[in-house]
Amino acid sequence: MMQENKNIDLSGLKETIQRLESGGGYGYEASPISLGTSAVDDRLPWGGLARGGLHEINGGNAGFGFHAGLLRRAAGADGCILWCRHAKVERETGLPYGPGLARFGLRAGQFLFVRAKHPVDVLWAMEEGLRTPGLAAVVGDGIQPDFTATRRLQLAAEAMNTPAFILPPLQKTTFASAALTRWDIAAVLNKHRNKTMRWQANLRRCRGGAPKNWIIEWDEQTLRFDLAQILADRTTAPDQRQSA
Partner 1 sequence: MPVSGGTRVSAVDSAAASEGIHPGMTLADARALLPSLLVATADPDSDANALNKLVDWCGRYTPFTAADGPDGIILDISGCAHLFCGEEGLLIDLAAQFKRMRLTARIAAADTPGAAWGWARYGADEMTIHKGGIKDAMLPLSVAALRLAPDVIERLQQLGLHRIRDIINLPRAPLARRCGMTVLDRLDRVLGYVSEPISPVRPSPEWRTRLPFVEPIGRAEDIAMATKKLLDDLCDILGKHNRGARQLTLVLYRVDGTTQNISIGTGQATRNAKHLYRLFTEKLGTADPGFGIEVMILEAQATNPLSGGQMGIAGHNPGHQQDLTPLIDRLRNRLGDQGVFRITPVASHIPERAVTTQPATAKATDDDWIADQPRPIRLLTYPEQIIVEAPAFHHPPKRFVWRRRTHQVKYAEGPERISPEWWRPDAGRTFRDYYRLEDQYGRRYWVFHDCGQIEITDMGWFMHGLFA
Tell me which residues touch partner 1 (CB under 8 A): 25-28, 60-62, 64-66, 68, 78-80, 82, 90-91, 93-103, 107-116, 121, 124-125, 128-129, 132-136, 186-191, 193-194, 197, 199, 218, 235-238, 243-244
CB of 141 to partner 1, least distance (A): 10
CB of 1 to partner 1, least distance (A): 34
Closer to partner 1 by CB, 80 or 155: give it. 80
For the chain, the residue count is: 244
Closer to partner 1 by CB, 34 or 240: give it. 240
Closer to partner 1 by CB, 31 or 38: give it. 31
**Nearest 5 degrees, angle CA 154-CA 156-CA 159?**
110
Closer to partner 1 by CB, 67 or 182: give it. 67
Give the number of other Cβ atoms within 10 Å of residue 104's Cβ: 19
CB of 67 to partner 1, least distance (A): 9
CB of 227 to partner 1, least distance (A): 17
* 3-class DSSP assignment, residue 65: helix
> Taking a C-beta distance cutoff of 8 angstroms, is the pair 45, 206 a contact?
yes
Element (H, E) at 224: strand 224-227
Closer to partner 1 by CB, 133 or 209: give it. 133
Give the number of other Cβ atoms within 10 Å of residue 183's Cβ: 23
Closer to partner 1 by CB, 3 or 194: give it. 194
Q: Which of 78, 80, 72 is nearest to 135 (CA)?
A: 80
Q: What is the largest CA-CA distance in the chain?
A: 75
CB of 120 to partner 1, least distance (A): 11
CA 116 to chain centre: 21
CA 222 to chain centre: 19
CB of 7 to partner 1, least distance (A): 31
Torsion over CA: 65, 66, 72, 75 (sign): negative
Closer to partner 1 by CB, 173 or 194: give it. 194
CB of 101 to partner 1, least distance (A): 7
Element (H, E) at 39: helix 38-41
Rg (CA), the chain: 19
> Taking a C-beta distance cutoff of 8 angstroms, is the pair 163, 53 a contact?
yes
